[in-house]
Structure 1
Amino acid sequence: MGLTIGDTAPDFVAATTDGVIRFHDWIGDSWAVLFSHPKDFTPICTTELGYMAAIKGEFDRRGVKIMALSVDPVDKHAAWAADIEETQGTAPNYPMVGDADFAISKAYGMLGADVSGDPADRTAADNQTVRGVFVIGPDKKIKLILLYPMTTGRNFDEILRVIDSLQLTARHKVATPANWTQGQDVVIAGSVSNDQAKDLFGDWDEPKPYLRIVPQPK
C-alpha cells in the first residue's frame, strides 16, 4: 500500500547539490516540501524549478524548507541548473537530490519496486510517475500528497495556500473552506463542542449546526 496523509515520511540519506543530507535531520523543526522530477533537462520541470527558486522567500517566511529530487545523478544537476537560470531567470537555491538508484522514488511510491538499471537508459516517460509534491510537518508526518502528469506544470502558489491552511489548523481548532486564502473566515473544527467553541471563539455564524463560521484566528 502506498503512502498516505499521516504516514511518517520515509527518511533517506542521499547526495544532493548541497552535499550529503539525511532527510529527517535536514528538516529539523521546520516544515518541508519535497517535489520530484522524472529526469533532468525536462521542459516543464525546468519551469517549475525556476519558479520555486524565484518564490523561495515565501517558503522561508513560513519556515518551510524546499528540496527537489530528480531520477538522475547529482553530477548532472549543475548543468541543468545553469539551463534553469538561463531560461527562467533564477537558478535553484535549494538542494537537488540525485536518485540514480531509484531508492527514494520507490520509498515514496512513485516507482515500482522492480525498477532497476542505469537511469540513463530510462526516458522521462519511463519515470513519468515521479511528479509528486509531498508537504511534511516538523513531526516528519506527511500532510499533503499531490501527483501531477508530465504535461501539466505544478501550481506552487496553491502549495503555499495549502501550507498556510496546514499551519493555521495545526495551531487552532479550525478548518479552512473551499478556496480559502490567508485572512478569510474559517470553520470551527467538528471535533469542538459548542461549549468549547464559546470558550475558544465567543460567537460565530451558524447557517447550519455543523457549519460554524468565525474570523481567522490570529
Structure 2
Amino acid sequence: MPTPLEIVTFGDAPAPEGLSPWVDGAAPSTDVALEEHDPRWAGVFAQLEARVREALGARALVVEHVGSTAVPGLPAKPVVDVDLTVADPDDEEGYVPALVRAGFVLRVREPWWYGHRLFGGTDVRTNLHVFGPDSAETMRHRIFRDWLRAHPADRDLYRDAKLAAAQHASAAGEHVEEYNARKQRVIREIYGRAFTAAGLIRQPS
C-alpha cells in the first residue's frame, strides 16, 4: 500500500539515458480525436476484465476500469483504459505470454516508473496498464475517476480541458503524449481538490 506522501507525489520519471520505453517499434499515437461518452464502454471493460482474468487466473490481483471511458458524461478517445495489478510486474514470464495469447500486445516497458508495462489490444482498442501492488499510480487513477464521477463541475472542467487539448494537438499534428501534457495543469488542479478531500493533503489550520 503506498503512503499518503507517495500518492500525492507525481513520479513522472523519464527513461534512463539510452533506453526507450517503446517495444518493437511501437510509438505514441497521433490519433487524439475524442468521442462523446458511450455507455457501451462499460461493457467493453467487462469483456476485457473477463479475458484478463481467464488468462491470468489468481495472478490478476486487481482489474480496474479507469480513465475517461470510466466516467459517464466525459468525452474520451474510444480506447478503454484498464489497470491490472500483479504481484511483480518485472516477472514478465508470469503474465506476458498469457496476455499475448489472450490477444494483447506489449507496447511499453517502463520498469523505472512503478514497474509499468502497457499492452494494446489486437481486436479491442484498449490500454492495459500493468503495475505492482505498491504502485501509487493505480491509487491516483481510482481517486481521479471516483472524484470526477461524484463532482460534475470538475468533470466539466476536465471535459473542457480535454476538448481544447485535442483541438490544439490535432491542429499541430502532435501525438498523444503531447495532448496529455496540454491537460496536465487542469488535471493537477483537480487532483489537489481530490487529495485534500481524502485527507491526503492537510490544509493549514
Q: Do Structure 1 and Structure 2 share a fold, with TM-score over 0.5?
A: no
Greater fraction of residues in helix: 2
User: Which structure's relative contact order is higher, taking Cα pairs within 8 Å and 6+ residues apart?
Assistant: 2
TM-score by length of 1: 0.28
Over alpha carbons, which structure has the higher Rg? 1
Greater fraction of residues in strand: 1
TM-score by length of 2: 0.30
